[in-house]
Homo-oligomer: A and B are copies of this chain.
Amino acid sequence: MKAEIVATGTELLLGETLNTSAHYLTGKLSSLGIEVDYHTTVGDNPDRLEQILRQAIGRTDLLVTTGGLGPTVDDLTKELVAKVLDLKMELDAFSLEQLKQFFARRKAPMPLNNEKQVYFPTGSKILPNPIGTAPGAIIKKNGKTVIILPGPPFEMRPMFDTYVWPELQRIIEPHTERMNERVLKVFGMGESAIEEVLGELMSLPNLTMALLAKRAEMHIRLVARSSQTTSGEASDALDRAEEKIRQRLGDKIFGRDQETMIGIVGQTLRNKHLTIASAESCTGGLLGAALTQEPGSSEFYLGGVVSYSNSVKQEILGVNEDDLKKFGAVSEEVAKEMAAGVRSKVGSDLAISTTGIAGPDGGSDQKPVGLVYIGLATPEGVQAKRFQFYGERESVRQLTVQAALNEVRQHMLNSERRL
């Protein structure tokens, strides 16, 4: 089965918006064994869009479009797909009702031009959009399938995952070659270090392995190809490879596949019935934001203090004024006092602190940009660790958050081992 992705939106052709949707969709389609032959991006120009849609429908089995479903006159994807497939546009009464409710919930009158969004090519299977006003659609004609999705990724992704993914799994034939994927996630090691440790494991038979550098972690991506009937063997090959890799990398691997650092840390805190608090300087609240990212975080996260100024470090966290003067705000001592301070103030089991120089200014020879101390207070005591990160301000802050979460994770792993 061959597929093609067409994105429309003038903003994509002005360098304003990065087309992450094509990337997302391609990954999903590939994992089902659907071969994506082309991505095409075209602006909101009716002639060019029509020509691209005609070309795509002519040469592919499955066309996925993103964008061009808005209420304005230059949003034309559905209309042009209908034209190319020689279908009429029809009002969908259910979608109109949903749209009216959408505006009613917002206590806003429904603008007339939004009505355009509930017309679809005849015979469409309509895909509801709980987040925005543009439903999507699946249209089948003459052995071709066209899937029409909205442009904003935060609307497109849930629509794809909820409605399109199960539909595609039905369409795929059993003998199609699938890519069975497993991703192992590593924190605290670079690409070449991992490559060296893994050595000959990088080229195992019947498996491909790739290292992908993400902002604050490395991903080891394993792929074993199979048909539906041999997927058990592929899965065994992945298990064996994962075991060998884990033997070498140990707890540098913090998670796999969809698991995230904060997901793992949150789950472990929950399982152990531990609570945590945060005291942040250079991360300015990002660590608290990470700890509260997932629903249910109030079970383990009690709260924290963003002690950006020294006065807040002293007044709320009780950091010693002499230590601030003697060692500076970015120091092991202050990181420890911040963690201990917020732990006693909030009354949590654990507390984690960050203090560092995020840059681009404020660095010196002794304390360069990227220098960060992370403190951890636990019932057993207080410790702090020194890190030197590289990159621009936002990278340093993100790396600090990830390293802080990793400290919490390692602490909980080590406590387990001591028991």
Contacts and interface: CB of A to CB of B under 8 A. Distances in A.
Interface of A: 10-20, 22-31, 35-45, 48, 52, 70-72, 74, 105-106, 108, 111, 113-114, 131, 152, 154, 158, 181, 190-193, 195-196, 210-213, 215, 221, 278, 280, 283-293, 295-298, 301-309, 311-312, 315-316, 345-347, 358-361, 388, 390-395, 397
Contact of A131 (B111, B312, B390): B390
A181 B308 CA distance: 38
Number of copies of this kind of chain in the complex: 2
A39 B12 contact: yes
A23 B19 contact: yes
Contacts of A392: 131, 154, 158
Nearest to A153: B215
A72 B26 contact: no
B40 A40 contact: yes
20 contacts: A15-B29, A19-B22, A38-B48, A40-B40, A70-B191, A71-B191, A106-B388, A106-B390, A152-B213, A152-B215, A154-B392, A154-B395, A283-B289, A284-B291, A285-B290, A286-B289, A295-B361, A301-B309, A303-B312, A315-B347
A14 B113 CA distance: 38
Contacts of A45: 37
A292 B296 contact: no
B303 A361 contact: no
B295 A360 contact: yes
Main secondary structure of the interface of A (DSSP, over half): mixed
Nearest to A277: B312
A221 to B, nearest CB: 7
Nearest to A113: B192
A23 B15 contact: yes
A229 to B, nearest CB: 23
Query: Most B CB atoms within 10 A — which of A19, A25, A71?
Result: A19
Contact of A298 (B27, B297, B298, B308): B308
A43 B2 CA distance: 13
Nearest to A31: B15
A38 to B, nearest CB: 6
A38 B27 contact: no
Contact of A316 (B41, B192, B305): B305
B106 A192 contact: no
A306 to B, nearest CB: 4
Contact of A154 (B52, B72, B192, B391): B391
Nearest to A275: B309
Nearest to A317: B303
Nearest to A202: B72
A380 to B, nearest CB: 23
Given A36-B13, A108-B193, A391-B154, A306 B288 contact: yes
B13 A39 contact: yes
Contacts of A290: 285
Contact of A15 (B28, B38, B196): B28
A158 to B, nearest CB: 7
A266 B168 CA distance: 48
A195 B113 contact: yes
A313 to B, nearest CB: 8
